[in-house]
Structure 1
Amino acid sequence: MSKRISISKRIRFEVFKRDKFTCQYCGKKAPDVILEIDHMHPKSKGGSDEMLNLITSCRECNRGKKDIRLDDQSTLQKQRREIEERQERREQIELMFKWRESLRDSDRKKLNKVVKYIDKKIDKFQLNENGRRTIEKLINKFSLPDILDAIDISAKKYLKYDTSDDLTKDSVEDFIDKIGGILTVKSRSPIEQKLAYIKGICRNRFEYWDSKKGSMILNEYVNALKKYGWSEKQILDDLENELELETKESNSWSEWKCFVEGWIDDIKKWK
């Protein structure tokens, strides 16, 4: 019988990293269990050592798949196996820390690139440590493309220049502060985004605006349309071409509240 060629440490690390140091059969993770590399298509049946054929398995699951019985009678064999397992566990812990560190390094590089992207937009100003921490939290929560889009949107909307054509400090602070809010809105459904836009119109137009009550009324309006059987597209078209336009014509909270509640009553009477 030919000697089985072992898989290199580099390949083992890449497979463990890909599978997040988790047994793909039972879900247990290192260092709680000792991990091994398993072949999805067995070597004995022509399977290869390519990454696509390799999978992370804990020792218990991997051994459970096999018909080979290990000789547990020898004390020396038991001791040797225990030593090997302890060494394997130490090596896997080291690999896991290496993987974690590579993730942290990747996050640091991503943060530095985003900070540099922001700094280019604010000329002589520079993001401070509080700003960096704010951006770091956003990176942990949102995708990089969405963050860059939000930065562009915020810059276009909030950055202002003085008479000397220099950016104002207040506008730079607004620009940074609004990035998170833009991301939150963008992560919502199209209907939720449109409702947020309509509420923004109300806040800007009316001297008084009851945010909580206004949100309840708008949600009730949308739910009434849904119960009638309208699709998301129909609701969006209505919000944009009917409710938004009527909102822009309203001059007060009471006027707006009255007409929207009237529309809700009308919808409930539709047949």
Structure 2
Amino acid sequence: MSKVNSKKTNTKKRKNLTKKTRFEVFKRDSFTCQYCGNAAPNVVLEVDHIKAVANGGDNGLINLITSCFSCNRGKGARKLDDNTVVEKQRQQLEELNERRIQLEMIMDWRRDVEDIDKITVDMICEAISTKSQLSPNDSGKRDIRKWLKRYSFDEILDAIDSSFSQYLDWDNDEEATSESWNKAFDYVPRISSVKRRTKEKPYLRELYYIRGILRNRVYVNESYIMDLLEDAVSYDADLEGVKYLAKTCNNWTQFKEKVEDYICVMKERSEQ
């Protein structure tokens, strides 16, 4: 066995950079040479070591910088004396740290929002339970979350009060029937929508009342009735007269033709 110690060298072997690492460096530096400012595709870019591998530099991102072919090949294994490069690395670290802090803030905010959403859903469920002695299941809670994307908390509470007061029926054991409870629950977003529209257009309440009269007496063209009534309002129709017509007409066609005749006459007058 040889008793001679083997001679060790201090030469550090360069490890090839992966394609992913090169891309991360280029992306961080906006595909721009950090020495001369030329950018791809006007120049061929390479990844340069700020502290050369020959002098102990590693492949960590903080030691890597984007360089064009000319700047990189001209630098060789010399240590950089350009303080702007070091300053740029410091600024990049500060920016990355600030991004991390802001991302953490966003995540905290999202958790707070999720907590608020859960509390809001629970409060709506409690309001429904108070009105009906029954509370929505998981599927119902998912529906409530959808409502909250369209309507305010107050709008939903107001609609719950109206819907459960109007549609809820009770059995002999003084429990809400399943059918009436489901109907009252399903009507909450519809009532929210109607209340919002009537707030924007106060006369809509009268039009809905007229439509209700017609529905109870004759067939109604649902896709046309509200447009017809709104056109009549736009020409200053006497809504009391329209109500009377809805109560006395023989059929939908008679009602429709009389209202259309009124609109036609008023339109001709306005054009004269």
Question: 2:119 — aligned with what?
Answer: 109
Cα distance per residue 1:40-92 (max 9 Å; x no partner): xxxxxxxxxxxxxxxxxxxxxxxxxxxxxxxx953322222211111111111
Runs of 4+ in 1 over 6 A off after TM superposition: none
SS at match of 2:169: coil
Higher-RCO chain (CA-CA 8 Å, sequence separation at least 6): 1
**Separation in 1, partners of 2:204, 2:85:** 67
**Separation in 1, partners of 2:182, 2:94:** 57
**Which of 94, 97, 106 pairs up with 1:84?**
94
Question: 2:108 — aligned with what?
Answer: 98
**Separation in 1, partners of 2:249, 2:141:** 41
Question: 1:187 — aligned with what?
Answer: 196
**Separation in 2, partners of 1:75, 1:262:** 82
Question: 2:148 — aligned with what?
Answer: 139
**TM, length-normalised to structure 2:** 0.62
Give the counterpart letter for 1:175 in structure 2: A
In structure 2, the CA distance between the partners of 1:73 and 1:192, relative to structure 1 (3 Å rule), is farther
Taking only aligned residues, the RMSD between alpha carbons, in angstroms, comes to 2.2
Does the 8 A contact of 2:126 with 2:135 survive in 1? Answer: no
**Which of 212, 215, 237 pairs up with 1:200?**
212
Give the counterpart letter for 1:203 in structure 2: R
Superposition map of 1:1-271 within 5 A: 73-123=83-133, 125-188=134-197, 189-206=201-218, 208-223=219-234, 225=235, 238-239=238-239, 241-270=240-269
SS at match of 1:183: helix
**Separation in 2, partners of 1:147, 1:209:** 29
In structure 2, the CA distance between the partners of 1:245 and 1:131, relative to structure 1 (3 Å rule), is farther
Does the 8 A contact of 1:185 with 1:196 survive in 2? Answer: no
What is the CA distance between 1:270 and its match in structure 2? Answer: 4.4
Does the 8 A contact of 1:119 with 1:126 survive in 2? Answer: yes
**Separation in 1, partners of 2:252, 2:217:** 9
**Separation in 2, partners of 1:73, 1:190:** 70
**Separation in 1, partners of 2:91, 2:217:** 76
What is the CA distance between 1:98 and its match in structure 2? Answer: 1.0
**TM, length-normalised to structure 1:** 0.62
Does the 8 A contact of 2:121 with 2:144 survive in 1? Answer: yes
What is the CA distance between 1:194 and its match in structure 2? Answer: 3.5
What is the CA distance between 1:184 and its match in structure 2? Answer: 1.0
Question: 1:27 — aligned with what?
Answer: none
What is the CA distance between 1:260 and its match in structure 2? Answer: 1.5
**Separation in 2, partners of 1:251, 1:158:** 29
**Separation in 2, partners of 1:164, 1:74:** 83
**Separation in 2, partners of 1:142, 1:158:** 21
Q: Give the aligned length.
A: 186
Give the counterpart letter for 2:214 in structure 1: C
SS at match of 1:133: helix
In structure 2, the CA distance between the partners of 1:163 and 1:138, relative to structure 1 (3 Å rule), is same
What is the CA distance between 1:114 and its match in structure 2? Answer: 0.5
Give the counterpart letter for 2:188 in structure 1: I
Mind listing any 5+ residue stretches in structure 2 that lack a counterpart? 1-81
What is the CA distance between 1:269 and its match in structure 2? Answer: 4.9
**Separation in 1, partners of 2:168, 2:184:** 6
The structure with the larger Rg is: 2
